[in-house]
Structure 1
């Protein structure tokens, strides 16, 4: 049985507790109990969250956990020096050490990220880089695994990290079953971006949002200004003007970004050949997709597919 210790400290974000549900469902999905989870703090007893309610905990003690996970807080404040010292010794006693969101600051303060790759919430990237210049921060990743150290981005990314831990321990099918039970569409791969094209464009009106949603659901088909304008219930001239005002870009550029996002996701989560991905995401042929990827990422689709580990299967 795998033992998991979730470290909390005063003012921690309660959403970090969501990782416990992943391990709970892993137990429910297994014939025998797979995980023993304990919420721990420096002294034990109730620990207050940033929302104002408290969670009961066990004291740290001298024993080790198979997996040790550290939560974070809204302001990137560090816990006590006693807890930092405990974490400095953790690699000797734990097979895997992880952080959720700004918990990466805690691992870095303990020296566990020195010379390693890591990630944290995008809003705190600059602060992290200034504080810990010897850590290679992969700021556009949901979670990063470097040896025995696992770090995740925002709070919901902690669920993806926990599912990846279960997948490593118990297999892909178990992780998928848990994701279904939690009503998560799929476990996001660690290489996926923290950002979404639709969130980045942030359209203000329902009409432009409707057009973008329509485009994303029909990427395989050619999308003209006329069809998008019809989806937005505007004339083509009105639509082009409003779209540029709200998103800062042309409809054609926006559609290309949606296609690139969809194509990259297919590369990171499937084994389809480049030609199939280009067709399914509306590029039509691999050369058009290659040019779009070079504009977006400065890399070809083949390079990204190789980095995702899917290239041999796709070939």
Structure 2
């Protein structure tokens, strides 16, 4: 029996949020059809994607019939403003009939608006994770994950992570061998190393509310390799270490040491991409030693400095 998968699309949808998972399901079905995908929109008909191509003759949500899995695709507009009533009604109706509900990228905003992710772990594009968490505080947002399963709900990170999500669905339905074969056909990782931090700028510091912390942040960003221990920063700001720690926790939701380490890691990433060696990147970023740099990469990016540089320096294959 084929598994019926409804992809909920709408004007402005991100094309790869749809085409990436669709291709995975198609490849997983060879030689026979394991999945029966259908493009569904709130009213049916043609849907204009954000990049221009049209998804033709989509089925109206009311006429979609039985659904085993619902996949809600994303669009930048979903993070900019709450989803419209027609889209929400279509998603709610399809979700009620589906045994499994998934979202790609900012499609998580639709599920969150419906309350389906309340009390659950979820993810979205790293650029929108803070917005998702702020708008829906009952959702446990994990910004560095490529995809997360919580009960019958599966959410994925940005855009191409829909491929990772679809491979995970195939493995759930048909086992690791089927997912591995689909990944081989598409020439992608079955499980990508690391999380979204590898692809973001890593440093997403919200604006400081106080001038004191704003000035301190500016000085650290200007020279990450300087002495930015807690006592040194507190002395520079003319406050106690306890007060400074409280400011970081209140305004940035982290500790001074963790924030400084992320600033230094961000600088080390850029140094590596600029062609510096591991030792030079460690020293010039302020992380100090090769071992400290390796530990920071492992802790935050789940990879090594050498592997990071290999993957992100160039698209050209190495000899």
2:75 maps to what in 1?
73
* Cα distance in 2 between the residues matched to 1:14 and 1:150: 19
**Residue 109, structure 1, aligned to residue 110, structure 2:** no
* Cα distance in 1 between the residues matched to 2:76 and 2:87: 18
**Residue 97, structure 1, aligned to residue 101, structure 2:** yes
SS in 1 for 2:10: coil
2:296 maps to what in 1?
257
Query: Aligned to 2:173, which of 158, 161, 169?
Result: 169
**Residue 127, structure 1, aligned to residue 131, structure 2:** yes
With over 3 angstroms needed to count, the CA separation of the structure-2 counterparts of 1:74 and 1:244, relative to structure 1, is farther
1:50 maps to what in 2?
50
1:26 maps to what in 2?
28
Alignment: residue pair count: 232
* Cα distance in 1 between the residues matched to 2:113 and 2:199: 33
Shift of 1:125: 1.6
* Cα distance in 2 between the residues matched to 1:50 and 1:186: 28
Q: Any conservation in 2 of the 1:5–1:69 contact (CA below 8 Å)?
A: yes
Query: Aligned to 1:180, which of 160, 179, 184?
Result: 184
SS in 2 for 1:89: helix
* Cα distance in 1 between the residues matched to 2:72 and 2:142: 19
1:83 maps to what in 2?
87
Comparing 7-16 with 253-262, greater Cα deviation is found at: 253-262
Q: Any conservation in 2 of the 1:10–1:48 contact (CA below 8 Å)?
A: yes
**What root-mean-square deviation, in Å, do the aligned CA atoms of Structure 1 and Structure 2 show?**
2.7
With over 3 angstroms needed to count, the CA separation of the structure-2 counterparts of 1:71 and 1:197, relative to structure 1, is closer
* Cα distance in 1 between the residues matched to 2:50 and 2:171: 30
Can you list the C-alpha shifts for 1:270-301, whole angstroms capped at 9, x where unaligned? xxxxxxxxxxx9xxxxxxxxxxxxxxxxxxxx
With over 3 angstroms needed to count, the CA separation of the structure-2 counterparts of 1:98 and 1:112, relative to structure 1, is same
SS in 1 for 2:138: coil
Structure 1's unaligned 5+ residue stretches are 213-224, 226-239, 267-280, 282-315
- Aligned counterparts, 1:163-312, within 5 A: 163-188=167-192, 192-196=194-198, 200=266, 201-203=269-271, 206-208=274-276, 211-212=277-278, 225=279, 240=280, 244-245=283-284, 247-252=285-290, 253-258=292-297
Comparing 107-116 with 52-61, greater Cα deviation is found at: 52-61
Q: Any conservation in 2 of the 1:163–1:175 contact (CA below 8 Å)?
A: yes
Q: Any conservation in 2 of the 1:26–1:34 contact (CA below 8 Å)?
A: yes
Return the TM-score normalized by structure 2: 0.65
* Cα distance in 2 between the residues matched to 1:130 and 1:261: 22
Return the TM-score normalized by structure 1: 0.66
Can you list the C-alpha shifts for 1:175-212, whole angstroms capped at 9, x where unaligned? 001111111133238xx52222997422276431xx35
* Cα distance in 2 between the residues matched to 1:185 and 1:195: 17
* Cα distance in 2 between the residues matched to 1:124 and 1:13: 15
SS in 1 for 2:155: strand
1:59 maps to what in 2?
60
Q: Any conservation in 1 of the 2:42–2:90 contact (CA below 8 Å)?
A: no
* Cα distance in 1 between the residues matched to 2:21 and 2:82: 21
* Cα distance in 2 between the residues matched to 1:187 and 1:16: 18
Shift of 1:79: 4.2
Structure 2's unaligned 5+ residue stretches are 202-265, 308-319
